[in-house]
Amino acid sequence: MEKLTQDLHFAWRQLRRSPGFALITVLTLALGIGATTAIFSMIEGVLLRPLPFRSGDRLVHVGYRDPKLGQGNVEFSVREIDDYRRRSRTFADLAEYHSMPFTLLGWGEPDRLQTAVVSANFFDVMGVTPLLGRTFVPEDAQPGGAPSIILSASYWRSRFGGDPGIVGRNVRMNDHLIRVVGVLPPLPAFPGDDKVFLTSNGCPARSSQRVMESRRARMLQLFGRLKPGATLAQAQAEVATVAGGLAREHPEIYQSSGWEVPVIAVQEELVHGFRPTGLLLAIMVALVLFIACTNVAGLMLARLLHRQQEVVLRSALGAPRSRLARQLLTESALLALLGGLFGLLLAAAAMKLLAGYAGRFTPRAAEIGLDGRVLLFALAVSLIAGLSCGAVPALQLARHNLADRLRTGEKVTAGKHVLRSILVVAQVAASFVLLIGAGLTIRSLFKLQDVDAGYQGANVLAARISLPGSRYASDEKVIDFFGPLLERLGGLPGVRAVGLASAVPLDGLAATPGFKIEGRPEPPEGQGPKTKYQIVSEGYFHALGIPLLAGRVFNAGDHKGTLPAAVVNQTFARRYWPSESPLGRRVQPTFADEWITIVGVVGDVKQRGLTGDTQPEMFLDFRQQAGGAMVFVKTAGAPAAVVPALKSMVHERDPDLAVADIRTLDQVRSTAIAPSRLTAMLLTLFAALAFVVTATGISGIVAFSVTERTQEIGVRSALGASRGSLLRLVLYKGVALVLLGLAAGLGGALMIARLLHSMLYGVAPVDPVTFAAVSLVLLLLTGLACVLPARRAMQIDPVTALRAE
């Protein structure tokens, strides 16, 4: 300990004597350690931390799917869940869940909130203890009884101000008084982003006689808790057996032989969307740390060469090589700890940004933070980085007989700087990998931004107005509400067009019902043509700028009592009438009693994100098939100016209606590309950091080479060498290192490109343009980094150089 204390004091004095070296080294390590710690905090919070549920490793999600019919994530009926509860032996219990919107009234402006409808045992199965009050008990969910709700922690704070007195009080939801029995602790938004949890008897659809008795009425998800000792494989085998038995007992329900019932761990469901991105970021940040460490190792090696007289003298005075090496390691460890301290500050500053980024992929993003494990990781990384950086000069020191060096006066040249050159080549190789990753994601982002979504979203506002079925049960009431509202909105100053639709572009359409085509044989059940449906108003296409390709769109002549009309998109027309016009053809959806005539064809609109395939889509007039919940307003100026008038008009008609999901279509598009944009931004940031450090290292080794070759350059200049030849002589060193680094990094770049494959759009993983551009940029910019030492070489006075030692 006494020797360690001496080494620390000596290292601190040395660093104070070289503040420039200390500052550059600490900042370089701070960037590498800070970036590594920040990304580890994401991985630890999302992938490594146990679930915030009791024995979360035993939670599973059971689902239906039929790949033969192209159906995935099919939900369960109440009768099926009862069967699984009775017949399963590996589950301690099973719970149901589904989500739907409700409107909270009586607490300020009406609030449309997503509500989880669950069985009474849901929180017992999930292993959740309430923050306040209690969870549900069987009596809460009795059919015909008074329903209860439990508030999420975030909604309790935002809507009720964190008032503990809300527990035990009644709140009004969709015209019903419902008792609040508890408040949940902070939890991931799983299974959905629900604000409150409601007992199953509070949902009109779930508690209806049809849903309670029909096996075809599938609307529920199924979650289970495995018994202690039961494995996922055992649960999967048992569920498959139960599903097979139900198929034999009810062949009229389970007609397909392709049904699968997968059992998936909840832990996997929560993180599978983040895992590929997390792996990519971990690799990238490891490369950044590697580059930082190799750069610092090169700086320390150069500093050792400057301190060679001191080192040789200390050795001659009796200091063993082990003590000298330990001194170098102590100095590098001290630098790394200082870098780790500043790196922690950088990581803490990035926490909010990283949590928002991870939230695009996983509901566990709220758990990201600097906890004890992250701090220990930062300490470990700092020590490992410090020892690694100090090991290079320490090993170099061990290669020389220092007593002989003192007698002969020979310099310790580090084998003509071969080791420093190797370090720089390694930095270039790692930088090449990072720049390839950044280049591919940036090109992909540009391609994504150029995607034609099929509509014009500039200055278009979207808002959701959901009409409760209890008060708007008939088509006439729905039409009587939306018709005058759209007319009044259209008359506002600055409003160019208004429309009504079922959904917002890029957000996706839910069900895909089948339909029949007049004059064609009816296919077997489940194998007929299918399409997405939207209920729209006549102004919808104009408000969104969707082009009319053939026929007409809806007009005032389409209303109740006239022949039903439909407009289809181009994909629908090409798929079902590839060689003829669909105009005038008649179709009958499974939910309709009448044949519907196709009167128009419009352009395709991206409904499943910018990268999703365009599907067949049929539009029905809301005056003939009442529906729709999204109101679109196209304005001449800023769309936000219309919001107060829109809310006022809605509340004049019905003060209990909520105007929710207010956003512009530009915001919708921005949200759709946000994951790609943030990934490209992070990779570009890492690549930029790596390149700056690498360019600095190359500039440093070239400058050091110029210093050591001063006499040679003076001789060449005295013998008539031109300035151009001297410039090429110096630049050759840097360019050669870059070329070697590019060759060394090619394999890693190809691996990163293939890892990025699933995240790219419109760009091949091995993209020649990106590889060529990155290589050229590295050569040019590193060439620029060598200009300063090259100019210094050209200014060397031959006489002064020849007089040098």
- Is residue 242 within 8 Å of residue 83, measured between CB atoms? yes
Q: Which residue has the tokens 């170099």?
A: 396
The DSSP H or E segment spanning 425 is helix 414-449
Q: Could you give phi then psi for residue 578, rounded to 5 degrees?
A: -65, -25
Distance linking the first and last C-alpha atoms of the chain: 42
pLDDT of residue 779: 83
What tokens appear for 322 in the block? 């082990």
Q: How far is CA 456 from the centre of its chain?
A: 26
pLDDT, average across residues 719-729: 71
**Residue 579 to residues 2, 575, 588, 599, 614: CA-CA distances in angstroms?**
91, 9, 21, 17, 19
pLDDT(570) > 90: yes
Query: Cα dihedral angle (472, 477, 482, 484), rounded to 10 degrees?
Result: -140
Specify the pairing of strand 460-465 against strand 659-664: antiparallel
Looking at the DSSP bridge assignments, the partners of residue 94 are 224
Looking at the DSSP bridge assignments, the partners of residue 115 are 100, 196
What tokens appear for 537 in the block? 């108003």
Looking at the DSSP bridge assignments, the partners of residue 179 are 148, 170
pLDDT of residue 628: 76
User: What is the rounded distance in angstroms from the CA atom of residue 186 to the CA atom of residue 768?
Assistant: 48
Question: Going by C-beta distance under 8 Å and a sequence separation of 6 or more, which residues neighbour residue 9?
Answer: none
What tokens appear for 12 in the block? 């601190």
Name all contacts of 769-776 with Cβ < 8 Å and 24+ positions apart. 769/443, 770/436, 770/439, 770/440, 770/443, 771/436, 773/439, 774/432, 774/435, 774/436, 774/439, 775/432, 775/742
Q: Which residue has the tokens 């006239």?
A: 562
Q: Which of 302-306, 338-342, 404-408: highest mean pLDDT? A: 338-342
User: What is the rounded distance in angstroms from the CA atom of residue 622 to the CA atom of residue 77?
Assistant: 30
Question: Going by C-beta distance under 8 Å and a sequence separation of 6 or more, which residues neighbour residue 685?
Answer: none
pLDDT of residue 134: 95
User: What is the rounded distance in angstroms from the CA atom of residue 69 to the CA atom of residue 66?
Assistant: 6
**Burial class (CB within 10 angstroms; exposed 0-12, middle 13-18, buried 19+) of 376:** exposed
- Is residue 591 within 8 Å of residue 530, measured between CB atoms? no
User: What is the rounded distance in angstroms from the CA atom of residue 39 to the CA atom of residue 51?
Assistant: 19
Task: Categorise residue 508: left if φ over 0, alpha if ψ from -120 to 50, beta otherwise.
Answer: left
pLDDT(216) > 80: yes
The DSSP H or E segment spanning 104 is strand 91-105
pLDDT of residue 793: 63
Cis peptide before 130 (omega within 30 of 0): no
pLDDT(659) > 50: yes
Q: How many CA atoms lie within 13 A of 224 on its CB side?
A: 29
pLDDT tens readout for residues 14-52: 777 777 778 888 888 899 999 999 999 999 999 998 899
Question: Going by C-beta distance under 8 Å and a sequence separation of 6 or more, which residues neighbour residue 617?
Answer: 509, 531, 532, 533, 534, 568, 569, 571, 572, 604, 605, 607
Burial call 236-270: b when 16+ CB within 10 Å, e when fewer: bebbeebbeebeeeeeeebeeeebebebebbbebb
What tokens appear for 368 in the block? 């990201």
pLDDT of residue 546: 95
User: What is the rounded distance in angstroms from the CA atom of residue 156 to the CA atom of residue 392?
Assistant: 57
Specify the pairing of strand 460-465 against strand 617-621: unpaired
- Is residue 289 within 8 Å of residue 30, measured between CB atoms? no
- Is residue 431 within 8 Å of residue 683, measured between CB atoms? no
User: What is the rounded distance in angstroms from the CA atom of residue 668 to the CA atom of residue 505?
Assistant: 8
- Is residue 351 within 8 Å of residue 35, measured between CB atoms? no
Domain ranges of the chain: 1-57+270-395, 64-261, 421-450+673-805, 467-657
Q: How far is CA 489 from the centre of its chain?
A: 37
pLDDT(409) > 60: no
Q: Could you give phi then psi for residue 531, rounded to 5 degrees?
A: -155, 155
pLDDT band at 611 (very low <50, low <70, confident <90, very high): confident
Helix segments in 612-664, DSSP class H: 643-653
Rounded (5°) CA angle 386-388-393: 100
pLDDT, average across residues 224-233: 94
pLDDT, average across residues 392-408: 58
Arithmetic mean of pLDDT over the chain: 85
User: What is the rounded distance in angstroms from the CA atom of residue 662 to the CA atom of residue 460?
Assistant: 11
Looking at the DSSP bridge assignments, the partners of residue 97 are 118, 221
pLDDT, average across residues 166-177: 89
User: What is the rounded distance in angstroms from the CA atom of residue 618 to the CA atom of residue 454?
Assistant: 15
Residue at 14: amino acid letter: Q
pLDDT, average across residues 584-602: 91
What pTM was computed for the model? Answer: 0.81
Output 721 or 430, whichever has higher pLDDT.
430
What tokens appear for 707 in the block? 């210093």
pLDDT band at 406 (very low <50, low <70, confident <90, very high): very low
pLDDT band at 667 (very low <50, low <70, confident <90, very high): very high
Q: 572: closest CA among 592, 544, 542, 596?
A: 596
Range with the poorest average pLDDT among 63-72, 205-214, 485-494: 63-72
pLDDT of residue 407: 45
DSSP state at residue 178: E
- Is residue 696 within 8 Å of residue 677, measured between CB atoms? no
User: What is the rounded distance in angstroms from the CA atom of residue 607 to the CA atom of residue 426?
Assistant: 46
pLDDT tens readout for residues 735-794: 888 888 899 999 999 999 988 888 888 898 889 999 999 999 888 877 777 777 666 666
pLDDT of residue 649: 94
Output 450 or 701, whichever has higher pLDDT.
450
What tokens appear for 475 in the block? 């088509």
pLDDT tens readout for residues 450-472: 999 999 999 999 999 988 877 88
Range with the poorest average pLDDT among 212-216, 368-372, 426-430, 705-709: 705-709
Cα dihedral across residues 305, 309, 312, 315: positive or negative: negative
pLDDT(415) > 50: no
The interaxial angle of helices 321-358 and 372-398, nearest 10 deg, is 150
User: What is the rounded distance in angstroms from the CA atom of residue 738 to the CA atom of residue 427?
Assistant: 9
3-state SS, residue 118: strand
**pLDDT > 70: percent of the chain:** 86
DSSP string, 32-91: HHHHHHHHHHHHIIIIISPPSSTTGGGEEEE-EEEGGGTEEEEPBPHHHHHHHHHH-SSE
- Is residue 118 within 8 Å of residue 199, measured between CB atoms? yes
Output 295 or 376, whichever has higher pLDDT.
376
| Residues written for the chain | 805
Cα dihedral across residues 651, 655, 657, 660: positive or negative: positive
Looking at the DSSP bridge assignments, the partners of residue 65 are 260
**Burial class (CB within 10 angstroms; exposed 0-12, middle 13-18, buried 19+) of 346:** middle
Residue at 779: amino acid letter: L
